[in-house]
Amino acid sequence: MAEPETNARRIAEDARDRVRFEEEVLELSDQVYRVARRLVPSREEAEDLVQDTYARAFRSWRSYTPGTNLRAWLMRILTNLNIDRGRREQRTPDMRPMEEGDYFLYNRLEEAGGSGDEQQIVERLSQDGIVRALSSVPHDFRDAIVLVDIGDFSYGEAAQILDIPIGTVMSRLHRGRRILKSQLAETAVGEEA
């Protein structure tokens, strides 16, 4: 007797949950794009990757557990799709740039001289140079930098997204930032900011 009513209610609840899920996912799109844009070389590839991520997220919304970390769930889809798209084949493991200590870039900028406020020394780096330097950091290290320093994910979230231990995230992040700074010291010092 009450069964059709129960069924109808379940369908209505299901529809409501799905709409809520889709709205929440769409609200995160700026953050998802910001990360995607630095994981792949071009804007076009980032746009394709984000679209594929959203198509898959909408299709598999039932596999998301409400109340858990939606941003990390989405990013996991994105990084897996990025790997599926064959980016691992582009790896060049033997071409890691030289890595210096953490004070190296500051020392180079200071040596390079120039006038200006001590506070603004970072602005001696060109913004384009930063983007180029980041894109030249090997993938494994760059993924960690992009997720943590640009995407604002915690170490734990990055570990979950990349499916690696948290200690590996930390070591890749630390080494990756040093590689980035070495690259910046090589390429971006002295360019117009």
Q: Which residues form the interface with another protein (CB under 8 A)?
A: 15, 18-19, 22, 26, 29-30, 33-34, 37-38, 43, 47, 50-51, 54-55, 58, 101-103, 105-106, 109, 118-119, 121-123, 125, 127-128, 130-131, 134, 149-150, 155, 170, 173-174, 177, 180-181
Closer CB to another protein, 129 or 161, in the complex: 129
DSSP H helices in the chain: 3-27, 29-39, 43-59, 70-84, 104-112, 127-135, 139-145, 155-162, 166-187
Closer CB to another protein, 89 or 126, in the complex: 126
Q: Cα(131)–Cα(101) distance, rounded to whole angstroms?
A: 21
Residue 1 beta carbon to another protein: minimum distance, rounded to whole angstroms: 27
How far is residue 184 from each of residues 65, 143, 189, measured CA to CA in Å? Answer: 41, 18, 7
Residue 90 beta carbon to another protein: minimum distance, rounded to whole angstroms: 20
Q: Cα(74)–Cα(51) distance, rounded to whole angstroms?
A: 12
Closer CB to another protein, 72 or 184, in the complex: 184
Residue 134 beta carbon to another protein: minimum distance, rounded to whole angstroms: 6
Residue 14 beta carbon to another protein: minimum distance, rounded to whole angstroms: 11
Q: Which of 180, 11, 43, 13 is nearest to 98 (CA)?
A: 180
Q: Which residues are CB-contacts of 5 (< 8 A; sequence separation ≥ 6)?
A: none
Closer CB to another protein, 2 or 129, in the complex: 129
Residue 176 beta carbon to another protein: minimum distance, rounded to whole angstroms: 10
Q: Which of 96, 111, 119, 95 is nearest to 178 (CA)?
A: 96
Closer CB to another protein, 94 or 118, in the complex: 118
